[in-house]
Amino acid sequence: MKKIMLGLAFLFTVGTTIKATAQQVTQQQRVRFYYYPSSNIYYNVSTGEYWYYDNGTTNWVEVKTLPATITVEKTPRYTVYYNGPDVWKDNTVHQKKYKSKKGITTEKTKTRN
């Protein structure tokens, strides 16, 4: 009986440790971005880099400074979180959820390049 109790206690401890470690890893990878629906771009708050879709290459591009053709000044922004840096993988969801609506103002920002 003693061995069974010790075994159960050991399994409980191991299970709790594994769960806590998994939660820490998930929290560490969670990245905060600002999403600008009018320009369909993301700004990584921790790195200061932008993600935008380049129609010419048909790829998402990460840059420190946006091209002059993309403006984010005085446009609504939304805070979104993603586990990792590739937030654009959820772009279809974000486009639907945060449609750019004319005449409606939300949190506004002026970004620095």
Q: Going residue by residue through the chain, which has 113 residues, state the pLDDT in tens, using 9 for 90 and above.
A: 888 877 777 777 777 667 655 555 545 689 999 999 999 999 999 999 999 999 999 999 999 999 998 888 778 899 999 999 899 999 999 999 998 665 443 344 444 43
Q: Number of folded domains in the chain? A: 1
Strands 78-83 and 75-76: unpaired
Q: Let me know if residue 9 belongs to a domain.
A: no
pLDDT number for residue 9: 76
Q: Let me know if residue 20 belongs to a domain.
A: no
Q: Let me know if residue 105 belongs to a domain.
A: yes
Q: Let me know if residue 52 belongs to a domain.
A: yes
Q: What values do phi and psi take at 98, rounded to 5?
A: -115, 50
Residue type (1 letter), 92: T
pLDDT number for residue 22: 53
The pTM of this model reads 0.64
Q: Let me know if residue 6 belongs to a domain.
A: no
Domain carrying residue 103:
30-109
pLDDT number for residue 29: 81
Q: Let me know if residue 25 belongs to a domain.
A: no
pLDDT number for residue 61: 96
Q: Let me know if residue 57 belongs to a domain.
A: yes
Q: Let me know if residue 75 belongs to a domain.
A: yes
